[in-house]
Structure formats: structure tokens, C-alpha cells
Copies of this chain bind each other. A is one copy, B any other.
Amino acid sequence: MAVPHLTTALTGPLLELESRILAAQPQIEHWFRSQWNAHAVPFYGSVDLRNSGFKLAPVDMNLFPGGFNNLNPDFTPLAVQAAQSAVEKVCPEARSLLLIPENHTRNTFYLQNVATLVHIFEQAGLKVRLGTLNPQITAPTELVAANGALVTVEPIVRHGNRLTLADGFNPCVVLLNNDLSSGLPELLKGLEQHLLPPLHAGWAVRRKTNHFAAYDRVADEFARLISIDPWLINPYFAHCTGLDFHARQGEDTLAETVETMLAKIAAKYREYGIDQEPFVIVKADAGTYGMGVMTVKHPDDVRGLNRKARNKMAVVKEGLEVSEVIVQEGVYTFESIEDAVAEPVVYMMDRFVIGGFYRVHTGRGVDENLNAPGMQFLPLSFETACLPDRNATPDCPPNRFYAYGVIARLALLAAALELEATDPERD
């Protein structure tokens, strides 16, 4: 695969930020090691980054990552090794794993992701089977992924406090690749098996604002470590509750929140001499799949929304009603690949970065969310591992990917703190 041609505007502070991250690599890795000593790392995750040339920041953190099929297959051994670490940590005795995918069976690219995950865990030496929460699947069903791979999903049979399959398959570990948007199924409650990620990582419970509150703490500490302004790696955010888009309730509060944030961003832009128009992203706080997302450049943009726009914001995946949103500083995407806007997504398993890809979309602007429903993105897998080359320029692909891997791991660490803080069994 050819090196992606990146046309990021690289004359501003980001190059400086990347240099600083590179130079501090030993301190950074040491710091991560001590953090993972103090906090349990999530099993896996993916992070959407935005690189504006002056700012490099996470904008979303997924604890049930799809898209493993978009990673460079050359790095599958890295994923396998990381999977061995992850599984060993949870249960050294593990022999078998039940993977619970999303319910939708028609997205053949998603099925390819499932097939890739099965492959990774099989390579790691586990027996892997797929159990589905989809009530329409009542017998083992073979599905065909986009690349022709076959995956067989089977109905889950609960025996006491264990999940099994009809033929007696009795796994030690249950791994969710289903983000539980529609609620926490009774089937998954009170299991004696290891359930990963934990139930409270599901979108029925999880809130983006909890994540970014944890990220604030992580970014502040990291910024002190390498002596930078935390804003360079952290988008502002605010929480807005009590909304009802259908009933047009809470519009003014939302508009005020947007106004305050636009002013804060403008002040930072002036401080750094950035000649861009500030914008914010309004997203469902419990949302996923890029549904319920709006780009806003003026407070009036959220007032008097038309029916279509309100409908779009009012519900996310599986019909979940939106009453809370996160108002997040928008970060321009200044990376492009052959004139198309590109957004990096970094994948991690255990505490290891195992690869990433660019979401590339010609039809979208630099200030828009690239993870939108129906979006036809072209995945362009990173062609090198996220390891630095300190003898090369800061903006060569390996060094850029190292910086991406560092910021993505900060978001992973924030997810660890978030899951600790929201753990219902926490004392």
C-alpha cells in the first residue's frame, strides 16, 4: 500500500507539539506504565482523532470498536499479541470466548469486522464462537461478510449464571462487541463469567460527558508532564440536560451553552493567532454511530430548528430518545488525502496501540463529523505501526502515528477512569 499523501497544514503549533511528544517519549511511556499500574485498562477501544494542524485531540472514544477489518493485515500479529496479554490479564485459564456482536446482520462490513475479531482471538489460541442477542435468530445462522468470510451466529442459552450455546459450549470469557444502546439485557446481568467490557460501559449507561470529564484530568496531567497547554490536546466541552427536541424544550439553554463555548474558543484562537471560525459539535450524550450530531457556528443555529433537523437530533441508534447532549469544541480536520477530508481512528487492545486507519470522505467539509449514518467512507489503514522514528522529521508517518497513538492512549486512560468512576459496584 502506498504511503497516504497527507496535506496537513503543518507549519503551526502541531509540529511543535509532535516534536515535544517525540522528545518526551521515554517520560511518556514511563508515565503510561505507572498509569496502567494504577488503573485497569479497558479490554479494547478505538478513538476518533481530529488533527487541525494546530490541535490534535480525541473527539470520540468507542469501548466496543467495530472496524477491525479496516486495519492493516500486516499488523495482525500485533493485535494477536495484545489479545494474548488482554486475555491473560482477565483470566489466565481462559480456553474459550463467546463474542457477542451487534444485532444487525445485514451490514456486511460489520460482519467482516466480526470475522476479523474471531480470527484475532483464534490466533491468540482461544476457541471463539458468536452468540447473538438478536431474538430473531433462533438457530445457528451462517452470515456472509463483505469479503466473503463466513460467520455463524448462534442464540445464547443462559444456564444459571452462565452464558452457553445450545451444544454445551461454555466459555470462560464473554466479550461484547455490542454497545448495548438499547439497554442492558437481563440475559447479561449477574454472570459468573468474565463479561468484558463491563455492562456500565454500554451506551445505555455511558455518557460522553463522563468520558470527557475524565479526559480533562488526564489531559491536564499529561500536559504538565510535557509542559504544554492542555487545550492543544483537549477540546472544550459542556453538558446540556433537560432537552426535548420534539417539544422544542431547552433550546435557549443550549444556545447559551453554545455561545459561551464559541467565545472561549475564539479567545484561544486569538491567543494562538489562528485565523479560523470557531465551531462546536452538538452530540447526543449517550449517542453512537454519529447519529444525533450537529455542526454549529452560531448560537442561533440551535434555535428554531426545523422539523427535519429536530427529528435528526431527537433519536439516536435503536430509537433512544435524546434529552442530554454534549456541546464539544469543534476541531478542524486539516488532514486530507487526495483532496478528501481524512480523520484518523486509532485502535487499541489492552494497553497497546495495534493500528489505525483514516476515514476518508470527499463529500464532507473540514468542520463536519465524518462518522455519520450512510456515510461512505474509504478506510485507509495506517501503513506503519505507531512507533516513533526519532531520527526522522516529526511529521514523517511513523512519528505522526506515534503522536496519534499517544493521544489515543490518553483517551483510553480517560475511559479507564470513567469506568472506575461509574462502576455501580464501586465502594
Contact = CB atoms under 8 A, between A and B. Distances in A.
Interface in A74-108: 74-78, 80-82, 84-85, 87-88, 92-96
Interface in A275-296: none
Given A78-B78, A78-B81, A30 B387 contact: no
Contacts of A78: 77-78, 81
B388 A123 contact: yes
A410 to B, nearest CB: 15
Contacts of A76: 385, 387
Interface residues of A, number: 39
Interface string A135-162: 0000000000000000000000000000
Contacts of A34: 92-93
Contacts of A217: none
A385 B32 CA distance: 27
A25 interface: yes
Contacts of A215: none
Contact of A30 (B27, B94, B388): B94
Contacts of A124: 29
B28 A125 contact: yes
Contacts of A93: 30, 33-34, 37
Interface in A53-76: 74-76
Ranked 3 nearest A-B pairs via Cβ: A29-B125, A77-B385, A37-B92
Interface of A: 25-30, 32-34, 36-37, 74-78, 80-82, 84-85, 87-88, 92-96, 122-127, 352, 385, 387-388, 390
